[in-house]
Structure 1
Amino acid sequence: MKSSTNIRGILFLLLLFPFHLAIAQKVYVLDAESEEGIGNVIVYNEDRSGTVITGIDGSCDLEIFKRTERLTFRHMGYLSFKATKAQILRQNSRVYLNVNPQQLEEVVMSISKWEQQKKDIPQKIASIDARSITFNNPQTSADLLQSSGKVYVQKSQLGGGSPMIRGFATNRLLLSVDGVRMNNAIFRGGNIQNVISIDPFTVKNTEVIFGPGSVIYGSDAIGGVMNFFTKKPMFASYSDKTFSGMATYRHATANNENTIHLDLNFGRKTWAFLSSITYNDFGDLQMGKNGPREYLRDSYVVTENNTDILRPNPNPRRQLPSGYNQLNLMQKISHKPNNSWEYDLNMHYSETSDYSRYDRLIRPNRDGTGLRSAEWFYGPQKWWLSNLQVYKKGRGKFYDGVKLTTAYQYFEESRNERNFANPIRYSTLEKLNALSANLDFENKKIGNFRMYYGAEYVFNQVASVGSQTDITDGSVSNSPSRYPDGAIWQTLAGYVNGEYKLKPNLTFLAGMRYSHVWTQADFDTTFYPFPFDETSLSNGALTGSLGFSWFPKADLQFTLNGSTGFRSPNIDDIGKVFDSEPGAVVVPNPDLEPEYAYNVELGVKKNFQDKLVLKGATYYTYLVDALVRRNFEFDGESEIIYNGELSRVQAIQNAAKAYVYGLELGLQAFLTDQWSLTANYTLTDGREEDQEGVDSPVRHVAPTFGDLHLLWKNQWLETDFFLNYNGELSFDDLAVSERNKPFLYAVDSNGNPYSPSWYTLNFRSRIKISNGLTTSLIVENMTNQLYRTYSSGISAPGFNLITGLSYKF
């Protein structure tokens, strides 16, 4: 009886074996970045005696092929992949395909907040996808933008990065994360570093709009918009549940960086969860060797027994103190009960350690014998974003899609400064709460006309306090705050945007938006006898855009776009009291109006048989009622005592008009299936004129810059040998405010400050050891050039070896 049972068991296993073998030969073909299944992939062997095609979920059965046969996976939108059947089965039966850039029909969301074909957009948009971000391996999101070759980035310290686009920067550019406006009421006209709060490891793609974007994004979107779309949780598509993740380690020699990252995804059919953590530890940055001696850090300040000492730097190329650390956390939860509804809860948190504002620590004192500051550092920069988004697809009466985005953000920052040999450290602390709600609709049912419309409400409230600490005894007392405590900034807006395809090769885009902004601030006269105790601003702005995209031939495109933008005064403009530069102090000015920009842009793109693509864009932007810092009188006085020093009074005023124009060129050449060439070149110029008719260069016009990349790749290895170039800005081309900061610049033959030209040679590579394990090797600044990007207070890294290891599971 027992023997009979064993025989039946053996027979059952023999019958079951082919079934298991068939299951084992089922493979899934997935997008290498999104890990979503790819349908209609053709799989064939070398003599094409056998062929199978993947289904909608990316699956197919390889049973007809022998284990030793070499198979090719081909899809028109992806690069081909080749491997033996045995290799594929050993790699967990997964095949990952990379997008073919020659065939990609790019979709963008930045113009309407809904998916649109990039070729139909008349405005220039630069897209940085997940694959490029992974390959470039940037330390911060500021570096992510700079790696595109189209955005210029200024740095006042290692913990910074202030983008410049078409002559505009800071609060004239808008940052957005997952559809939520990051700009707040205390974004300043000086260089800002809020972009580093965004973790590049969590960014799926970034879209940069060049030129005004106020129709969709409202105030501040004068020079451009930078949209960061972070990764989304993945639902289970080919099983009941899925679990995946990635662990990464990176090290860089120039600042002794140590970074660790981990993300985990768990998905079911209707629920998905994504968690991410990144920790960065950056040491003091080492500058290059070959360049202007003025950039060297010859001495620094140490404090011993409450006494400041100016000490020689044993290594003048080491920029100390400049190191800091940062923690980023992200949690996302998605629920998709059916094909019509989706709910997304997104939470981001970022916090830095204290970090020095390096450009303030290298300022000489008045007689040039030492340094002005003993301390100047930011306290922890904190950012919290909670974002709930609800999507509905379906045939509503007035829409085909509706999206509700609600968000709460918390910002915290502080500044701490103490002059050399002065025992008093002055500190200010700012906390800001921001609420926002966006309701966006898409209607694509009206023939060849698609309409997008919506409304937005934003509320900001600022808390600001000041204190001073005597370092000799630790006593703390009150001092002036940076902003009016409890100040409020809010806006309500509605917009409509339309896309009309007049012909298959001719698309028009037009839109308009009305925004109303209210600002309320009460001033504390305890420390300064302001001639006013409150201010209340209420102003509206109507902005619009009109443009077209035309393909006279399938391989030739022309675009023309006209648009307007505006920026309403915020709390930083009307209420700031701050030491803006040596010997000058900015005071509040409650009598401000919005500034407006008028822009026209012409673009052309020519495709030569998918082998060579040339792009060009030229533009002209005119800014009126520009908000600029100019000399001012406070209660009838042109100078006041601030932090114990007699300082010239300045204020933000509607005191200028400006124009900026430029040329942007791009090239893509696909030499072979493995070799390609890309290049970018940006030329910008601009002038501003004040109320007295004095003409001067615009502060945030970057020097001419460009890059050139020679790339080689196959399915396992990707390399990039590239050149970065930056032109010179002579003394005459420096803005007046920059001439007043000679310690940031090199010295020309006449003894005047100027920004020299520079170049770097660089190499990066990424090796795919297996489907899960990847390593990267990057060599930056191979010739060890000593340089500073324009307007920066800290020198760029010298020779820098970056190594990384990632494991995807």
Structure 2
Amino acid sequence: MKLFFTISLFLLAFLKLQGQNVKVLNSVTKEPVFGVAIYNVDKSKSIVTNFRGEADLSEFSETEDIYFKHLSHILKKTTKESLGDSKTVYLESNTQGLDEIVISASKFEQNKKDIPQKITSINSQSIGFTNPQTSADLLETSGQVYIQKSQLGGGSPMIRGFSTNRLLITVDGVRMNNAIFRGGNLHNVISIDPLAIQNTEVTLGSGSVIYGSDAIGGVMSFYTQKPRLSYTDSLLFKSNIVLRYSTASDEKTGHFDFNLGYKKWAFVTNASFTEFGDLKMGNHGPNEYLRPEFVVATNSGDYIIQNKNPQIQKYSGYKQLNLMQKVRYEPYENLSFDLGLFYTATTDIPRYDRLIRYKDNTLRSAEWYYGPQEWFMSNLQITKLSSRSNLYDKIKTTLAYQNFQESRINRDFQSVIENRREESVDAYSFNLDLEKRFSPRTQIFYGLEYVYNKVMSDGTEENISNNLISNTVSRYPNGASWESAAIYTSIKYKPNPKFVFQSGLRFNHIVSKANFEENNTFLNLPFNASKNEAGALTGTAGISWSPNNILQWKLNASSAFRAPNIDDIGKVFDSEPGSVVVPNESLKPEYAYGGELGLKLNFSKVVLDMSSYYTYLDNALVRRDYTLNGENQIMYDGELSNIQAIQNASKAWIYGFEIGLKMSIANHLDLKSQYSIIGGSEEAGDIEVPIRHVSPNFGNAHLIWSNNSFKMDAFINYNGELSFNELAPSEIGKDYLSALDSNGNPYSPSWYTLNLRSQYRLNNSTTITATLENITNQRYKTYSSGIAAPGRNFILSLKFSL
């Protein structure tokens, strides 16, 4: 009887203790929130939630006010009594982002409001709700990145008038840009699986002090899912399965990931597979975008077939596989070892913009496609976040290896010669980043970087009638190398909570080497080898000033650079019909000098965020007419072509204004809007002309309603017109991409789309996301795109979580 009584008392005490436990969850994702500070009014009682979002409230009384505070969520006040039996607290994310933490500005965590530059962030909740098909689409949802698409398997970002190799991409802190990143539209960002991303930070404007060459217009930093440890003896298991279907491209996506967390070890496995069919465009818009006919290649020859439905963009479909494996080892607090392995592969990707070109009123190409695009990365990161060293408080070491595989295959209509060019890049990198706080007001960030790229390139042509293969000029000099060594330092001075000053310097030394002997068999260049060396010193200085709770000013000035890479120095390719680009060994870095002024007005219910910027690009690397051995034409792939080369032959001026609005209209109802105005010109001989990658003015507006289980977003995306006179000369020559105005000249029309997105959480494990895009079925292209955007498109996604 005593034993029974003792057990009963124990059970009652245990149940009472359990009844004192509270669980803190994110109001949208229902994920546990770790590290929530829970305290009473005078902070005499306090506790912090564990990794399950749980905490024991037994020391608090039933009626006293209890505060729940977390850096990325809105402060909440409640009582134990009001929690009732559920003992669950839902925290709302801090949508204003005033206390948001960012990493990309210095490689270590900083408060976003301390950064003089503008950084826009996309967290996992937003990614789950917007449900992007590719990482390019993910960037577009920010409302601050413009996306161009040459084909369905593409997505070339434009930021503040810059694009391609003047923008930098990083994945988990590792530089993705390599020696053959080109100045033409670049689509490597789609190799990053959007379903594996935890958050993304886009730095608008120069990032050269921290990231070096290429970071002229901005830095896109992708951070993938981190393995989560248990910190206890029990296993922490988390898993997600995602299934998605969209109608416009007949997209079918399957994804799974799972986390195994132990006390010191954790593992994340992630896999996605996507199949896209031919994309269907909308009903209402320019007839020039329609696909009236296409080429079919058979054993008996090439035939032009009438398209039964000209809105179907034959051929544009492809498939993609993404794999990720990450391992984390944390032997003790503040020291971690992180290993990441990434692999992405596509099937052949049709180059749609090349398939719609005509020559003498006949489709020019029978075949034009990218071969399987593969990307592999392994990176090891060692991080120590607490140290008594005189040299640093925090230190991060990153070692990475990447391999890029890509190829281009094309054959003219009725031709028996198929041209094939294959490239491979091995990229090695080492980064050492350190942080040291000298006083409560002053801290410095400094580090060094070394990058080495090796380029392998091969060119062949095959006679498909007899299968004979012969060598031809390769796209790049085989065996070329590009290496960069750099040191940097920056200082942050914060004398009081209202004022922050940050400044930094970076010195880079870059060496490119190329051997042209193989290609000289075909080109007869006046040199057999080249070595290009360049040094670059860049800097930045800026302030963030918040005189009161309403106003925040940001002012920043910076310089940036891009060193010539192997694509600039040694590329051979057909830039446009009748033109071929050849190598040029006499290149120097291009420099950008810019300034930015930002103002944020926070009226609690209404937040206005405005920025204006100006950038001057000097010694710009641009494609211009060129002579080779005194000749201005050369035979290339069987066609007499005008000779061009990349040259330091221009200057450019880019300017713009951005404004964002966030407004709380009513309980659970918010309005968000973003609008960007961009302009610019560059030198072309004695005149100034529009710049190729300055996008039209663009914007969006979102009306969002949400509660604990349901969220709905009714939104509009819109885009201004670029008239014939506003097009860059290189775009005027690509009339097959454009609509025609009343005078028969190419131009980029304005457009808009009406859209509706919703998400419903059935229970803690099942979420449905449904989106209806382009409700009015508009037919449009984003500026400079070869492929038309989707028409009316229904996207349905199911997510199962354990």
Q: Given the two structures, how large is their TM-score scaled by the length of structure 1?
A: 0.93
Amino acid at match of 1:549: S
In the TM superposition, residue 265 of structure 1 has moved relative to its aligned partner by 0.4
Distance 2:465 2:340 in 1: 46
Partners in 1 of 2:193 and 2:763 — Cα distance?
A: 26
Could you tell me whether the CA contact under 8 Å between 2:425 and 2:456 is conserved in 1? yes
Is 1:388–2:385 an aligned residue pair? Answer: no
Contact kept, 8 Å, 2:193 with 2:322, in 1: the verdict is: yes
The answer to whether structure 1 residue 118 and structure 2 residue 112 are counterparts is: yes
Partner of 1:552: 547
2:366 to 374, 381, 398: 374
Aligned to 1:575: 570
Letter in 2 for 1:620: Y
CA contact (8 A) 2:232 2:263 kept: no
Matched, 1:657 2:654: no
Partners of 2:713 and 2:135 lie apart in 1 by 20
CA separation of 1:42 and 1:709: change in aligned 2, threshold 3 A: farther
For residues 85 and 145 of structure 1, the distance between their equivalents in structure 2, rounded to whole angstroms, comes to: 44
Q: Secondary structure at the match of 2:272?
A: strand
Deviation at 1:476, TM superposition (A): 2.1
Give the drift of 1:484: 0.4
The gaps in structure 1 that reach 5 residues or longer are 1-6, 45-51
Measure how far apart 1:22 and its partner are.
Answer: 4.3
Partner AA of 1:177 in structure 2: V
Question: How much does 1:470 deviate?
Answer: 1.9
Quick check: 2:769–2:796 contact (8 Å CA) kept in 1? yes
Distance 2:278 2:243 in 1: 19
Amino acid at match of 1:39: V
Instruction: Provide, for residues 145-188 of structure 1, a one-character-per-residue CA deviation record: whole Å limited to 9, x for no partner.
Output: 00111100000000000000111100000001111000000000
CA contact (8 A) 1:81 1:715 kept: no
Higher mean C-alpha displacement, 629-638 vs 444-453: 444-453
Which position in structure 1 is the counterpart of 2:34? 37
Residue of structure 2 equivalent to 1:466: 459
One-letter code aligned to 2:253 = T
- In the alignment, residue 224 of structure 1 is paired with which amino acid? G
Distance 1:557 1:192 in 2: 36
Q: Does 1:453 align with 2:425?
A: no
Q: Aligned-pair distance for 1:477?
A: 2.1
Q: Secondary structure at the match of 1:319?
A: coil
Per the alignment, residue 725 of structure 2 pairs with 732
Give 3-state SS (helix, strand or coil) of 1:446's partner.
Answer: coil
| Distance (whole Å) between structure 2 residues aligned to residue 563 and residue 804 of structure 1 | 43
Please state whether the residue corresponding to 2:105 is helix, strand or coil. Answer: coil
Distance 2:614 2:678 in 1: 10
Aligned with residue 779 of structure 2, among 780, 786, 798: 786
Using the TM superposition, give the Cα deviation of residue 60 of structure 1 relative to its aligned residue in structure 2, in angstroms: 3.4
Q: CA deviation at 1:531?
A: 1.3
1:528 to partner: Cα distance: 2.1
Question: What SS class does the counterpart of residue 526 from structure 1 fall into?
Answer: helix
Matches within 5 A, 1:31-180: 31=26, 32=29, 35-41=32-38, 55-57=48-50, 58-61=53-56, 75=69, 77-78=73-74, 97-102=91-96, 105-180=99-174
* Cα pair 2:38 2:66 within 8 Å, conserved: no
> Of 723, 733, 741, which residue of structure 1 is paired with 2:734?
741
Q: Distance in 2 between matches of 1:667 and 1:143?
A: 22
Question: 1:296 is matched by which residue type in structure 2?
Answer: L
Deviates more, 1:495-504 or 1:18-27: 18-27
Q: Does 1:622 align with 2:616?
A: yes
Query: 1:3 maps to what in 2?
Result: none
Q: Residue 515 of structure 1: which of 508, 517, 530 is its match?
A: 508
> Which AA in structure 1 matches 2:771?
I
Higher mean displacement: 302-311 or 161-170: 302-311
CA distance in 2, matches of 1:497, 1:33: 39
CA drift at 1:111: 1.4
1:696 aligns with 2:693: no
**Equivalent residue for 2:399, pick from 389, 394, 406:** 406
1:593 alignment counterpart: 588
> How far apart, CA to CA, are the structure 2 residues paired with 1:251 and 1:733?
38
1:429 is aligned to 2:422:
yes
Question: Contact (CA 8 Å) 1:755, 1:790: kept in 2 or not?
Answer: yes
CA contact (8 A) 1:156 1:358 kept: yes
For the residue of structure 1 that corresponds to 2:128, the secondary structure is: helix
Which residue, 521, 526, 531 being the options, matches 1:526?
521
- Equivalent pair of 1:306/1:472 in contact (CA under 8 Å): no
Question: Partners of 2:328 and 2:667 in 1: how far apart?
Answer: 38
Separation in structure 1 between the aligned mates of residue 525 and residue 693 of structure 2, nearest angstrom: 31
Report the equivalent of 1:767.
760
| Matching of residues 202-241 of structure 1 within 5 Å | 202-237=196-231, 240-241=234-235
C-alpha offsets along residues 723-760 of structure 1, whole Å, 9 cap, x if unaligned? 10100000000000000000100000010000000000
Query: Take 1:773 and 1:73, find their aligned partners in 2: how far apart are those partners?
Result: 30
SS at match of 1:220: coil
Residue 554 of structure 1 and its aligned partner are, at CA, apart by 2.2
The aligned residue for residue 289 of structure 2 is 295
The 8 Å contact of residues 24 and 89 in structure 1, kept in 2 or not, is answered as: no
Structure 1 equivalent of residue 319 of structure 2: 325
Gap change, CA 1:83 and 1:156, over 3 Å in 2: farther
Shift of 1:99: 1.5
For residues 256-278 of structure 1, give each alpha carbon's deviation from its aligned partner in whole angstroms, at most 9, with x where no partner exists. Answer: 11111111001112111111001
**Compared CA separation, residues 238 and 710, structure 1 to 2 (3 A):** farther
Change (3 A) 1:276 1:72: farther
Q: Does structure 2 conserve the Cα–Cα contact (< 8 Å) formed by 1:30 and 1:38?
A: no
Compute the displacement of 1:784 (Å): 0.3
Deviation at 1:89, TM superposition (A): 8.5
Q: Could you tell me which residue of structure 1 aligns to residue 494 of structure 2?
A: 501
- The answer to whether the Cα contact below 8 Å between 1:79 and 1:99 also exists between their aligned partners in 2 is no
Compared with structure 1, are the counterparts of its residues 482 and 80 closer, same or farther at alpha carbon in structure 2 (3 Å cutoff)? same
Of the three residues 664, 668, 672, the one matched with 1:670 is 664
CA deviation string 1:288-311 (max 9, x = no partner):
110000000000000122411011
Instruction: Note the C-alpha offset of 1:245.
Output: 1.1
Looking at structure 2, the residues matched to 89 and 157 of structure 1 have their Cα atoms a distance apart, in angstroms, of 55
- In 1, Cα distance between equivalents of 2:235 and 2:48: 19
Task: Identify the residue that residue 47 of structure 1 maps to in structure 2.
Answer: none
Q: Distance in 2 between matches of 1:224 and 1:88?
A: 49
Q: Distance in 2 between matches of 1:97 and 1:553?
A: 26
What RMSD over aligned residues (CA atoms) do the two structures have, in Å?
2.6
Distance 1:232 1:793 in 2: 37
For 1:83 and 1:799, the matched residues in 2 are separated by: 48
Q: Retained in 2: the 8 A contact 1:28–1:37?
A: no
Residue 446 of structure 1 deviates from its aligned partner by 2.8
Q: 2-side partners of 1:103 and 1:358: how far apart?
A: 40
The 1:208/1:383 distance shift into structure 2, 3 A limit, reads same
Aligned to 2:189: 195
- Secondary structure at the aligned position of 2:754 is classed as strand
Q: CA deviation at 1:462?
A: 0.3
For the residues of structure 2 that align with 1:204 and 1:777, how far apart are their CA atoms? 21
Q: Does 1:275 align with 2:269?
A: yes
- Structure 2: unaligned runs, 5 residues or longer: none
CA contact (8 A) 2:98 2:113 kept: no
Of residues 300-309 and 184-193 in structure 1, the stretch that sits farther from structure 2 once superposed is 300-309
- Tell me: CA distance 1:681–1:792, structure 2 relative to 1, closer, same or farther (3 Å): same
Inter-CA distance 552–10: structure 2 relative to 1 (3 Å threshold)? closer
C-alpha separation between the residues in 1 aligned to 2:727 and 2:84?
Answer: 59
Q: CA 1:127 to 1:14, structure 2 compared with 1: closer, same or farther past 3 Å? A: same
Q: Deviations over 1:195-254 (max 9, x none)?
A: 000011111111111111111110011111111111111111466321111111111001
- Tell me, yes or no, if the aligned pair for 1:29 and 1:54 is still in contact at 8 Å: no
State, as a whole percentage, how many aligned pairs show the same letter: 50
CA shift, 1:550, in A, is 1.2
Total equivalences in the alignment: 789
